[in-house]
Chains A and B, each alone.
Chain A
């Protein structure tokens, strides 16, 4: 009989932005000043409750008529939703003024489409934070010739609640491993939701 715990999946508290180059920014409120790449700039929400994302802006071909502006999200943050309006304020060197964008689903990480996920613990060893800011928790497992892990991707994780998150996942794993014939439900700290569960190699 398989042992597993249940993770309720939700996007109601938003999602991180996808950490990748992101097209579609409105440059009408900005002046492109020079070729170069900015330091990481804060992605500021004009609407919605997203926070924590950062991006760099790279300009090439300034003044040549073949100018290109590339915005790359380097930190995904938390709590963003399709329809939110966000902006980047220039560093005064590469550009001045604001770049703006209305987020669509493609700008956000892709959540699991299910309402719940089952995380099997039959080969589980331990849990660990994937990052210090608790963007995800990994449950490591070993099988012959295989070293894999289940990754629980989280919205709302911070350095402040990372410890509580890890302990919560550990409790669910432990209950599933030591209480066969029942499927305990992962209870995350308030304000933290899980939007995706995936087996990683």
Chain B
């Protein structure tokens, strides 16, 4: 069963499947999750960039990485992720891209 992370969105939540996520970093004002899945170029992997309503900090990204790793060890989980630096932040959008292995 998939390991999901929930993020606040409007009156509900949106989910992100974090199976295969091995690293989360701050990228600009967003968080980027790297997946253990080959991307469309040599040495690249797929990644999901999460754009939140508030700027993501390094500590926020570290917290998301920790939560993803915990979720992976609890199949079927769906844990709510809140930015430690801005608890009321909501997810604006997510996007997939092929990124150089970090």
Q: Which residues of A contact B (CB under 8 A)?
A: 121, 124-128, 140, 142-147, 163-164, 166-167, 170-171, 173-174, 177-178, 180
- Once the chains bind, are A125 and B17 in contact (CB under 8 Å)? yes
Are the CB atoms of A147 and B15 closer together than 8 Å? no
Q: Which chain A residues border B15 with CB–CB below 8 Å? A: 126-127, 170, 173-174, 177
A128-B94, A142-B46 in contact; A178/B37 too (CB < 8 A)?
A: no
Closest to A163 in B: B10
Query: Per a CB cutoff under 8 Å, which of A147, A170, A174 touches B98?
Result: A147
Q: Known contacts A125-B96, A147-B98; decide if A142 and B11 are in contact (CB<8 Å).
A: no
Task: Answer whether residue B13 sits at the interface, using C-beta atoms and an 8 A cutoff.
Answer: yes
Specify which of A127, A147, A167 is in contact with B40 (CB 8 Å cutoff): A147
B17 touches A126 (CB 8 A): yes
B1-49 contacts to A, CB under 8 A, are: 1-2, 4, 9-17, 35, 37-40, 46, 48
CB-CB under 8 A from A164, the residues of chain B are 10-11
Query: Which residues of chain B are within 8 angstroms of A180 by Cβ–Cβ distance?
Result: 1
SS class, residues of chain B in contact with chain A: strand
**In the complex, what residues of A have CB within 8 A of residue B94's CB?**
125-126, 128, 140
CA–CA, A178 and B2, complex, Å: 6
B100 at interface, CB cutoff 8 A: no
Q: Is B78 an interface residue (CB 8 A)?
A: yes
Interface residues on B, range: 20 to 34
Taking A126-B15, A167-B10, A173-B15 as given, write out 9 further A-B residue pairs in contact, using a Cβ cutoff of 8 Å, ordered by the A residue number: A125-B96, A127-B14, A164-B10, A170-B12, A170-B13, A170-B15, A171-B12, A177-B2, A177-B4
Would you call the interface of chain A mostly helix, strand, loop, or mixed? mixed
Q: Are B10 and A142 in contact (CB under 8 A)?
A: no
Chain B residues with CB under 8 Å of chain A are 1-2, 4, 9-17, 35, 37-40, 46, 48, 76, 78, 93-96, 98
CB < 8 Å: which of A124, A126, A143, A146 contacts B14?
A126
**20 A-B contact pairs sorted by A residue (CB < 8 Å):** A124-B17, A126-B14, A142-B96, A143-B37, A145-B38, A145-B39, A147-B98, A163-B10, A163-B11, A164-B11, A167-B10, A167-B12, A170-B15, A173-B15, A174-B15, A174-B78, A177-B1, A177-B4, A178-B2, A178-B4
